[in-house]
Structure 1
Amino acid sequence: MTTSVEPAGKAGTRLGLVLLACCVGQFMVVLDASIVNVALRPIQEDLDLAPNTLQWVINAYTIVFAGFLLLGGRLADLFGRRRVFAVGLALFTLASLVAGVAVDPTTLLISRGLQGLGGAVLAPATLTVLFTTYTDPMGKAKAFGTWSAVAAGGGAIGALLGGVVTQWLSWRWIFLVNVPIGILLMALLLTAVPESRNENADRRIDSIGAVLVTGGLMAVVYGIVESHEKGWDSATTIVSLAVGIALLVLFVVNEAKFAKQPLVPLSIFANRSVSAANIVNFTTSAALVGVLFLFTLLMQFVYGYGSLETGLAYLPLSLGIVATARGLAPSLINKFGPKPVLVTGSILSMASLLWLSAVVGDGGFVSDLLGPSLVFGAGQGMVSSTVTMAGTAKVPYTQAGLVSGLLNASRQVGGALWLSVLAAVVAGYTNSLTPGASADGYSTAFLIAAVYPLVGALAGLAVPGVSPEALAAARNWGAAKKPAATTAEK
């Protein structure tokens, strides 16, 4: 690998463009998982979707996205991170175009599945490119903080943008807006982002492992989303979860005993940072997705807010996430290391959910939701940016895509699983004839949700600490060079 020294200004500009490309790509993926929610009714009316089919406008994306994340992350390591980024982006953009012009339910649902596939390839690549491009510790912390703010805040912002776009334009534009953005991002990607991959890797794909883990994740997530409507005791839910778990068990056996080039080398979990970070990520996404779900129901069905008002009410939470993840968290990480920041953020998230559990049916946004929204946003911002740093600590460049896929998968599955639990709690109270049962349901759900960040805080304690001397040494070292034997830039 040949290297050259770039002027500081030129190098800074290139890094800024790389960060922009990765954040826009991640924002597109996260946004499309949430922006559709507020447009379901006009989609149903326009395409004449049956009520039991409507949920698949969301589920088709979620299930495929979750299923292919690990494979998508590993492909980036083996075949080039920029190349895989571009393939995922192209598929996502094309599928968005088809979804936006769909004239029947079948076309829309197939295109949503293809969007999920493109997103599963694209999302891990965005994080992998950042991991392999940024080497200075402070610069990496800020880059990961920005990326994490986009990943965590995109869901909340999606509710606002979905309401605005649907009300002022058409539901079709929640998909069509991805087309010009995707084209511009492709041009930026091909001109500003360097290519890198493991040149010495065996490029054979663990096809059996890929089928097992993809099928297993899809079956598990399918069972979870079906539980929303059919219940946990339905045959569909039980069989799907049983099949999914069986496939995942077989996947672990295959990786440990039979695979010559494992898709997921199990030795990666010997890294305490990786294991702890994925547990934290699992619980953090559960808390965030749960709050977005509960906020939407509470504001629309208890407080009587419309789609646009609901979207605007998410602004304090979104701004809290972005401000903390982009500004405060990187400085704290650089000073104290990821462990105390991770634990503090989890505790703040838990405190805000306990606060929300005291919500009452005749309250309002300012009196009941504004304060805990800000605290929750700050906590989530600290955790989301720090968990990425912790999860990639001491990970070789050759496994950057693998770890990125794991982090994305734990976030996706955690959100889907625990959302269904909270939905069941609220539904149980809402269907009761007891006066005030609905408000009691939300209070109980928020109280249960507070357990998620508590588990995250405990897992965060397992993250290895970093001494002030080690942090200072890392800052003084400046940039750790990539091993010439494992990466190549073009």
Structure 2
Amino acid sequence: MKKWIVLFSIGICLLLANLDMTIVNLALPAFSTEFGASMQQIQLIIVSYLTAAAAFFCLFGKMADSVGRKRVFMFGAVLFMVSSLYLGAWSSTVTEIIVARFVQGAGFAATLGLALVLIANAFPPDQKGFATGVAVTITGVGMALGPPTGGFILQYLGWRWIFLLNVPLGLLSIVLTWIFVSDDAAEARRPLALDVAGVPFYLFALGCLIYVSNMLSTAATATLAAIAVAGLLSAAIFVRRSLRKPAPLINVTLLTSRGYLTVILIRMIFNYTMASFLFVLPLFMQNVLDYSKLKSGMWLLCMTIAVAFIAPLAGKVIDRVGFRIPTLVSMSLLFVSCAAFCVLGPATSSAIFVVGLFCFGVSNGMLTTATINGVTTQVPAKDAGTAIGLFFTLVMVGSMFGVSVAGLVLDRVSHAEVVARLAHAALPLAEPARAALFMAANGSRNIAESGLQNDAPTFAAATQIAHAAYYSALGKLMTGNALLTLVGVGLSIMLLKKQPSRSMSGATHAIEIPER
């Protein structure tokens, strides 16, 4: 009975983390409306979460080796719950939301890295695979429930409740984990095996990377160049220390394995594209198509239901054929999805939209399992835990770039389009209405909030300009994503041409959860 309670308690955290992945993105238009948030601020609401996850994932893994997995997991769950409570109950500015989301992302990093380990260790050896499969199913269910749940909450209760929902469930998970998960502190207690002096260089380099990627549209070129150089120098020092020290935060020598590096690059491309999709789609549906929050959530079901159904089946397929073929199929479907979104326009059939969402969902469900299996079978078994840590860190970096580049392209391209179209149309607009038009064109605001409704001809002309500029920017963004996805397809083909690893040998394919 105890093992099922452990699965339930840890599963709650997995469910909440995956609910938040889609719910918070769905709430982005609400943040823009209530706080007057710019495109850059909207980006930071997502990027701050991903930044914290990337920064602390490996660090919390090292801490778990020293103080115990249970304690680090519970610390992460408390961080996630308390930050959710603050977001829902007290946050009153965009800056507060961004900071609290950073804390929430740190909690996510501590729980994600240890959830599967704690679940697997609660079951006997012959049931570990089953327990891991149930955990993956919970992940898919969380993603599937996110859009309709988020749409309903946003439509009828308000955005604060998407965070307050985490509090009672998070508290239940913490209490059950405290009572029923075995305390491993005694067996784990040993000196922290970590190059502590190298951590600041890692965090500084990551911070510079995030700053530059998010400030490209506003900061001076000289400032960005100086920060980029400082970040590169810090990264070089960190890598140098990692190669020389016996216990680095990140074992960069793993990247010398071509198979391991190829799998990581494929997953980074996927997460770059996924983060771009999940950032753009809610803004597109609510601010351009003028869908309600609930309707937007229901549309996203085309994607998340596919994830929920495919993820559990993907493991069985991979057991039979290995991870390489499913990886190629996934990246090919992702290209189809990007191609479908490339042709979106005012007159595009909704069937194209459905195809794009569904193909993306199938790709997501299949590739998640395939790449996790891929990284664990491309390195020695003793390095599996470290390999997973580095894998998730770099995957989060890919997601950060996806959001940052999406915001940059939509903002820059739409701005240039609006300027050109306003000059051609000779449409006289006062500064507040002009600013609202630029925000509507990049998708961060609905044109209905421009204050032009009282002048029907001007409102109609402004709407046409904003939407034309947005579709132009969206087309360029998705074309870039499609081309990048083709690179992923090429890398997947390279994997097929490599010598089969032990992942191709049938039963050995089951993922072994490393003992941290």
Pairs within 5 Å for 1:365-376 = 365=350, 367-376=351-360
The structure having more radius of gyration, on CA atoms, is: 2
Match of 1:245 in 2: 232
Contact 2:19–2:142 (CA under 8 A) maintained in structure 1: yes
Contact 1:336–1:466 (CA under 8 A) maintained in structure 2: no
Match of 1:260 in 2: 246
The correspondence for 1:361, drawn from 346, 349, 373, is: 346
1:332 matched to 2:317: yes
Contact 1:146–1:322 (CA under 8 A) maintained in structure 2: no
Distance change (3 Å), C-alpha of 1:481 and 1:249: closer
Contact 1:166–1:174 (CA under 8 A) maintained in structure 2: yes
Match of 1:465 in 2: 500
Contact 2:155–2:292 (CA under 8 A) maintained in structure 1: no
State the alpha-carbon separation in 1 of the partners of residues 387 and 400 from structure 2.
20
Structure 1: 5+ residue runs without aligned partners? 1-9
1:390 matched to 2:374: yes
Distance change (3 Å), C-alpha of 1:182 and 1:370: same
State the alpha-carbon separation in 1 of the partners of residues 92 and 197 from structure 2.
35
Contact 1:338–1:465 (CA under 8 A) maintained in structure 2: no
The correspondence for 1:454, drawn from 463, 486, 491, is: 486
Report SS of the residue matched to 1:450. helix
Contact 2:10–2:173 (CA under 8 A) maintained in structure 1: no
1:99 matched to 2:87: yes
State the alpha-carbon separation in 1 of the partners of residues 500 and 179 from structure 2.
38
Match of 2:61 in 1: 73
Report SS of the residue matched to 2:347. coil
Q: Report how far residue 180 of structure 1 moved.
A: 0.8
Distance change (3 Å), C-alpha of 1:399 and 1:17: farther
State the alpha-carbon separation in 2 of the partners of residues 321 and 152 from structure 1.
6
Report SS of the residue matched to 1:84. helix
State the alpha-carbon separation in 1 of the partners of residues 256 and 55 from structure 2.
24
Deviations 1:232-276 (A, max 9, x none): x6455444443333322211011112x232122233334455323
Match of 2:335 in 1: 350
Report SS of the residue matched to 1:183. helix
The code of the aligned residue for 2:255 comes to: F
The correspondence for 2:159, drawn from 161, 171, 188, is: 171
Deviations 1:282-327 (A, max 9, x none): 1111121122233334323442222221111100100111111112
State the alpha-carbon separation in 1 of the partners of residues 296 and 156 from structure 2.
15
The code of the aligned residue for 1:293 comes to: F
Distance change (3 Å), C-alpha of 1:471 and 1:427: same
State the alpha-carbon separation in 1 of the partners of residues 213 and 133 from structure 2.
30
1:298 matched to 2:279: no
Contact 2:40–2:407 (CA under 8 A) maintained in structure 1: no
State the alpha-carbon separation in 2 of the partners of residues 452 and 459 from structure 1.
11
The correspondence for 2:474, drawn from 436, 442, 465, is: 442
Structure 2: 5+ residue runs without aligned partners? 422-464
Runs of 4+ in structure 1 deviating by more than 6 angstroms, as ranges, are: 44-52, 133-138, 478-482
Distance change (3 Å), C-alpha of 1:88 and 1:159: same
Contact 1:286–1:452 (CA under 8 A) maintained in structure 2: no
Pairs within 5 Å for 1:35-434 = 35-40=23-28, 56-102=44-90, 104-105=92-93, 108-129=97-118, 140=129, 147=135, 158-194=146-182, 199=188, 203-227=192-216, 229-230=217-218, 234-235=221-222, 237-257=224-244, 259-327=245-313, 329-365=314-350, 367-393=351-377, 399=383, 401-431=385-415, 432=417, 433=420
Q: Report how far residue 43 of structure 1 moved.
A: 5.1
State the alpha-carbon separation in 1 of the partners of residues 513 and 209 from structure 2.
40
How many residues are aligned here? Answer: 463
Task: Please report the TM-score for the alignment, with normalisation by the length of structure 1.
Answer: 0.80
Contact 1:98–1:107 (CA under 8 A) maintained in structure 2: no
Contact 1:77–1:401 (CA under 8 A) maintained in structure 2: no
Match of 2:438 in 1: none
Contact 1:24–1:185 (CA under 8 A) maintained in structure 2: yes
Deviations 1:43-86 (A, max 9, x none): 57767879976655444433333322221232233432222111
State the alpha-carbon separation in 1 of the partners of residues 505 and 206 from structure 2.
38
Q: Report how far residue 139 of structure 1 moved.
A: 5.8
Distance change (3 Å), C-alpha of 1:294 and 1:137: farther
Q: Report how far residue 108 of structure 1 moved.
A: 4.5
State the alpha-carbon separation in 1 of the partners of residues 223 and 82 from structure 2.
32
State the alpha-carbon separation in 2 of the partners of residues 137 and 464 from structure 1.
30
Distance change (3 Å), C-alpha of 1:24 and 1:284: farther
The code of the aligned residue for 1:117 comes to: A
State the alpha-carbon separation in 2 of the partners of residues 50 and 287 from structure 1.
22
Contact 2:51–2:397 (CA under 8 A) maintained in structure 1: no
Report SS of the residue matched to 1:29. helix
Q: Report how far residue 110 of structure 1 moved.
A: 4.0
The code of the aligned residue for 1:311 comes to: G
State the alpha-carbon separation in 2 of the partners of residues 137 and 272 from structure 1.
32
State the alpha-carbon separation in 1 of the partners of residues 88 and 375 from structure 2.
36
Match of 1:3 in 2: none
Q: RMSD value over aligned CA atoms?
A: 3.7
Distance change (3 Å), C-alpha of 1:102 and 1:240: farther
Contact 1:44–1:50 (CA under 8 A) maintained in structure 2: yes
Distance change (3 Å), C-alpha of 1:117 and 1:422: closer
Distance change (3 Å), C-alpha of 1:77 and 1:348: farther
State the alpha-carbon separation in 2 of the partners of residues 132 and 427 from structure 1.
47
> Which stretch of the first structure deviates more once superposed, 410-419 or 238-247?
238-247
Match of 1:5 in 2: none
Match of 1:7 in 2: none
The code of the aligned residue for 2:316 comes to: S
Counting aligned pairs with the same residue, the percent is 23
